[in-house]
């Protein structure tokens, strides 16, 4: 009888432990800025066994992951990855957009101050983002006992992924030559960040983003965050670290998708990923962390490079389009009191309501659409209020609709021909850009690795908005509140 009672007592004592939700110690979101899906294989033979090859050989790759909105740009990509949503719902219409007739940067917040330096580069927060992120939902699920930290060279790539309730976000202030944060998160940098900045800095004004060293600096800061904040090491709730590698984008913009510069930065990425995985194995424990690799967008090949191989391509001079359109509309509507077009961004034309002075706004928009349609570089020119009833085919139409943010997107969207993108138009131009709803811009990698991830791959259709619901389902937490995606596991 005593044995029965003892056994029953032990069983009852074990019940709380048995009832605990099983989660990894640490979740790492790794976003490689401007990483086309095919970079996984274009450089495959040159990757080391311990870096990107390790993720592919031991992880699970969703080979047909695509962005289901337009524009495909950095701020929108990072927001959509972590909210599981699109600009129409999460509010991030682009890196820059116009709101109330004023140009606005996605993370600028003049109500906060820089922490770690005195420049405006630190006056940033996630307040323009609508809805929660994976990290916000993890906080809510653990009564804010988890730690969530974002690290990147770009402010928007550190801030938007980490979310509203993040314990910290750190980004690089070029004018200072080191990492900073803002008073949205803290009033002073932790001592370990000060020590890191003292040991790891550049000359003020040096743009580390356009250098391979920017990749290494990012991972070095990520390791310092894991070490000093004891992420995934306390035995308590699951922590989260969001990392974005920005140098791949900056270098790609200057040198495009081919050539020694792009290869060099991806070889550096591979080596740093290998080192970081080894570090996590030692500190958090192999199998104890869940990591996902993805990208915020892809990129087009350089149009001069494509032309050399008889592939149709070209550059679009968007500034000239704005100038010419304003000149045409001022002539067609002499009653206009100012240039009606504020500018172009994200392949959207923004109009200045103050110039209409009570005149027929729709007539002016209609005239602008018809004028832009004369440009043979455009496949479609659409009034954003009429996209749903336009003749734009699927899936392009849905991508355009998903990309319209109320009060922040433009009045007209243009879709260029494939491999035609907004850029400097010159026979000597060797860079690239992105933003359009075409395969080269929207096809991105998505690889799961680590905790409870089996090896394999799938070519089933997956959207960028499925990433957050997938991670949340694995953690057994609610998906972000504006999410429209579905778990793919």
Is 118 marked active-site?
no
Residue 180 half-sphere exposure toward CB, CA atoms < 13 A: 27
The residue count of the chain comes to 489
- On the question of a cis peptide bond just before residue 418, with omega within 30 degrees of 0, the verdict is no
**E strands along 248-376, which residues?**
289-294, 314-316, 341-345, 348-351
Asked whether the CA dihedral 247, 28, 216, 59 is positive or negative, the reply is: negative
Residue with tokens 């500190």: 283
Contact 302, 423 (CB under 8 A): no
Per-residue DSSP letter, 49: T
Measured torsion, CA atoms of residues 198, 199, 200, 204, in degrees rounded to the nearest 10: 40
Is the CB of residue 300 less than 8 Å from the CB of residue 441? yes
Catalytic pick from 74, 133, 210, 413? 74
Which three-class secondary structure string do you get for 453-478? CCCEEECCCEEHHHHHHHHHHHHCCC
Point out the residues that are catalytic: 74
């Amino acid at each position: 009888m005593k044995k029965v009672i003892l056994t029953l007592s032990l069983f009852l004592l074990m019940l709380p432990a048995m009832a605990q939700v099983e989660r990894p110690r640490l979740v790492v979101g790794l976003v490689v800025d401007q990483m086309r899906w095919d970079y996984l294989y274009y450089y495959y033979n040159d990757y080391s066994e311990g870096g990107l090859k390790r993720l592919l050989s031991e992880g699970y790759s969703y080979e047909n992951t695509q962005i289901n909105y337009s524009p495909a740009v950095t701020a929108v990509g990072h927001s959509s990855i972590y909210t599981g949503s699109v600009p129409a719902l999460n509010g991030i219409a682009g890196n820059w957009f116009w709101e109330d007739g004023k140009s606005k940067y996605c993370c600028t917040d003049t109500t906060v101050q820089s922490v770690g330096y005195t420049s405006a580069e630190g006056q940033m927060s996630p307040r323009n983002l609508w809805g929660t992120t994976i990290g916000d939902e993890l906080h809510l699920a653990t009564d804010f006992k988890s730690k969530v930290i974002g690290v990147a060279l770009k402010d928007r790539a550190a801030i938007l992924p980490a979310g509203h309730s993040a314990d910290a976000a750190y980004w690089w202030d070029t004018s200072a030559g080191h990492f900073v944060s803002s008073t949205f998160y803290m009033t002073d940098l932790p001592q370990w960040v000060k020590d890191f900045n003292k040991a790891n800095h550049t000359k003020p004004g040096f743009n580390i983003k356009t250098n391979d060293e920017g990749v290494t600096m990012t991972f070095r800061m990520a390791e310092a965050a894991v070490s000093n904040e004891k992420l995934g090491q306390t035995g308590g709730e699951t922590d989260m670290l969001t990392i974005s590698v920005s140098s791949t984008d900056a270098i790609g913009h200057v040198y495009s998708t081919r050539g020694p510069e792009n290869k060099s930065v991806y070889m550096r990425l591979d080596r740093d990923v290998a080192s970081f995985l080894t570090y996590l194995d030692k500190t958090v424990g192999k199998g104890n962390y869940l990591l996902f690799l993805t990208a915020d967008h892809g990129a087009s090949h350089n149009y001069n490079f494509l032309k050399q191989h008889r592939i149709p391509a070209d550059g679009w001079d968007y500034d000239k389009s704005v100038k010419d359109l304003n000149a045409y509309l001022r002539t067609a509507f002499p009653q206009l009191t100012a240039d009606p077009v504020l500018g172009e961004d994200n392949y959207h034309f923004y109009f200045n309501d103050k110039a209409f002075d009570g005149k027929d706004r729709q007539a002016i928009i209609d005239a602008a659409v018809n004028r832009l349609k004369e440009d043979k570089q455009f496949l479609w020119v659409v009034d954003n209020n009429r996209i749903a009833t336009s003749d734009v085919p699927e899936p392009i139409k849905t991508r355009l609709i998903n990309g319209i943010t109320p009060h922040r997107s433009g009045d007209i969207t243009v879709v260029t021909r494939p491999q035609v993108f907004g850029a400097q138009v010159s026979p000597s131009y060797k860079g690239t850009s992105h933003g359009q709803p075409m395969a080269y811009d929207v096809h991105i990698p998505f690889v799961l690795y680590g905790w409870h991830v089996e090896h394999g791959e799938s070519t089933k259709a997956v959207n960028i908005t499925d990433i957050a619901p997938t991670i949340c389902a694995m953690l057994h937490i609610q998906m972000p509140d504006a999410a429209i995606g579905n778990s793919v596991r």
